[in-house]
Every structure is written in C-alpha cells, then in structure tokens.
C-alpha cells in the first residue's frame, strides 16, 4: 500500500480531480465530475501555443480539459494557489475565459454560450451532440433553436452551413459560386437576408 503511494508520488501519475471549488462546464457522470460537451468546444482567443505555455498542466500526465475527462484544469486558469484545492481567484478566471477558454475548459462561459435556447425547440437541445452542431444538415435548425447548446449565441441565427467559408471570403464574389455561397456561406458572405428554402430568420 505504502509503496503504491510512494510510486504514485514519484511518478506523479495520480491525476488531480476537477476541483470542487470550480465545477463550471462540468457534469456528474454518476461517479465523477467530468467536463461537459461545451467545456472545450471553442477556439482559444490567443494562439494555442501561447495558451499551452501560459496554462501549464498540473502534471506532465494531465490531459487537457475535454468532454468526459475528470482531470483538473491548469491551476492558473482559476487560482493563484499552487495546490488543489486552492481558492478561486476571479481575476485569473476572467482572464482565462477571455484568452484561453479551450485550454482551460471554460468554453461554456464565453459569450457564444450565453443565451437561452428556444423555449419550445424543434429538437431536444440537451440531446444535441457536438457532431450535430458541426453538421451542415443540422446547423441551421440548431442555430435557431439551440444556440446555447452549440455556442451559436453570437450569430443571431445567421450561420455558415459548412466550415471553411471564412477562410477564403473571395468565394463570395467568385462567379459560378453564387448558388453555393447563398446556401452554404450565408454568414461569411452576408447573405442571411437572401431568401432560400431555409431562411435564417424563420424563427426567433
Ligand atoms: C465517469 O468518468 C470517469 C472519468 O472519465 C470514468 O473513469 C468513469 O468510468 C465514469 N463513470 C461512468 C459511470 O461513466
Ligand atoms: C482556416 O481557418 C481556421 C480557423 O480560423 C484555421 O485554423 C485554419 O488554419 C485556416 N486554414 C487555412 C487554409 O487558412
């Protein structure tokens, strides 16, 4: 028993559980508090490289916050302390949410998630998965009915159905691409007021 403890300490492989002092963007899976599907479902504002250096994992074995895992965030995300549990420092947390929300598992606290889903959505928002939020077939309905589930709160129902439109907005003006962008790149190309079979502002 003692040798197990000594080995664990030596190798630091006992992952630290998510601190009970800050259970934001977590859910209980029956036995443990684990990160929810909206904990790391956004991009860092600063570069990933900066965030990795600024928010060092508590041990080299720690996994970064991701859906379903239960290892504590890098300490600098939420405290000036050096041990778990440490008291929350709200300045540190505010800075982390603003700059490195993905690295810190704070995506659900960003403005993209700060709105209400429709009171009577066409689909059960709680059952919507990350894959559905990314699917061109679902995205328009989810932007309108379940924006807080997918992190679409800043979009006001106007969304690109496919990823990548924003990488090259010159396609908005490429001849032969008009039909494609009117359907698929409505946000990037500013086409949300153009009527299609599925108007953006159909439901509010
Ligand atoms: C809860 O999550 C932990 C950590 O990922 C895992 O080890 C455990 O098996 C999960 N429990 C259930 C009931 O899924
Ligand atoms: C497209 O945009 C994403 C997100 O902004 C970026 O990570 C990626 O490197 C870009 N790809 C290209 C080819 O510009």
Residue 114 lies in a domain: no
CB 20 less than 6 A from any atom of ligand 1 = no
CB 89 less than 6 A from any atom of ligand 1 = no
Residues 99 and 45 in one domain: yes
Q: What's residue 14's pLDDT?
A: 64
Q: What's residue 203's pLDDT?
A: 45
| Mean pLDDT, rounded, for 155-177 | 93
Residues 101 and 131 in one domain: no
Residues 104 and 133 in one domain: no
Contact 178, 170 (CB under 8 A): no
Q: What's residue 175's pLDDT?
A: 94
| CA–CA gap between residue 18 and residue 24 (Å, rounded) | 10
Residues 98 and 36 in one domain: yes
Contact 26, 53 (CB under 8 A): no
pLDDT at 204 over 50: no
Residue 64 lies in a domain: yes
Residues 30 and 105 in one domain: yes
pLDDT at 60 over 90: no
Residues 105 and 39 in one domain: yes
- Nearest bound ligand to CA 164? 2
**Domain span including residue 36:** 26-109
pTM above 0.85, yes or no: no
Residues 78 and 152 in one domain: no
Q: What's residue 61's pLDDT?
A: 86
Residue 192 lies in a domain: no
Residues 143 and 100 in one domain: no
Residue 202 lies in a domain: no
Q: What's residue 7's pLDDT?
A: 47
**In which band, very low, low, confident or very high, does the pLDDT at 84 lie, cut at 50, 70 and 90?**
confident
| CA–CA gap between residue 162 and residue 16 (Å, rounded) | 38
Q: What's residue 195's pLDDT?
A: 61
CB 69 less than 6 A from any atom of ligand 1 = yes
Q: What's residue 200's pLDDT?
A: 47
Taking the alpha carbons of 16, 20, 25, 31 in that order, is the dihedral positive or negative?
A: positive
Q: What's residue 93's pLDDT?
A: 97
């Amino acid at each position: 028993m003692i040798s197990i403890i000594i080995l664990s300490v030596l190798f630091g492989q006992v992952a630290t559980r998510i601190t009970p002092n800050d259970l934001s963007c977590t859910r209980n899976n029956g036995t443990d508090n684990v990160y929810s599907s909206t904990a790391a479902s956004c991009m860092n504002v600063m570069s990933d490289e900066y965030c990795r250096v600024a928010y060092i994992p508590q041990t080299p074995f720690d996994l970064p916050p991701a859906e379903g895992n239960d290892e504590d965030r890098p300490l600098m995300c939420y405290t000036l302390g050096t041990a778990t549990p440490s008291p929350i420092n709200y300045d540190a947390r505010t800075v982390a949410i603003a700059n490195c929300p993905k690295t810190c598992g704070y995506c659900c606290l960003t403005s993209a998630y700060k709105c209400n889903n429709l009171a009577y959505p066409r689909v059960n928002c709680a059952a919507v998965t990350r894959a559905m939020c990314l699917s061109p077939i679902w995205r328009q309905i989810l932007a309108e009915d379940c924006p807080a589930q997918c992190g679409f709160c800043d979009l006001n129902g106007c969304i690109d159905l496919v990823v990548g439109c924003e990488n090259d907005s010159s396609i908005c003006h490429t001849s032969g691409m008009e039909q494609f962008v009117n359907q698929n790149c409505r946000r990037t190309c500013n086409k949300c007021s153009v009527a299609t079979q599925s108007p953006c502002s159909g439901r509010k």
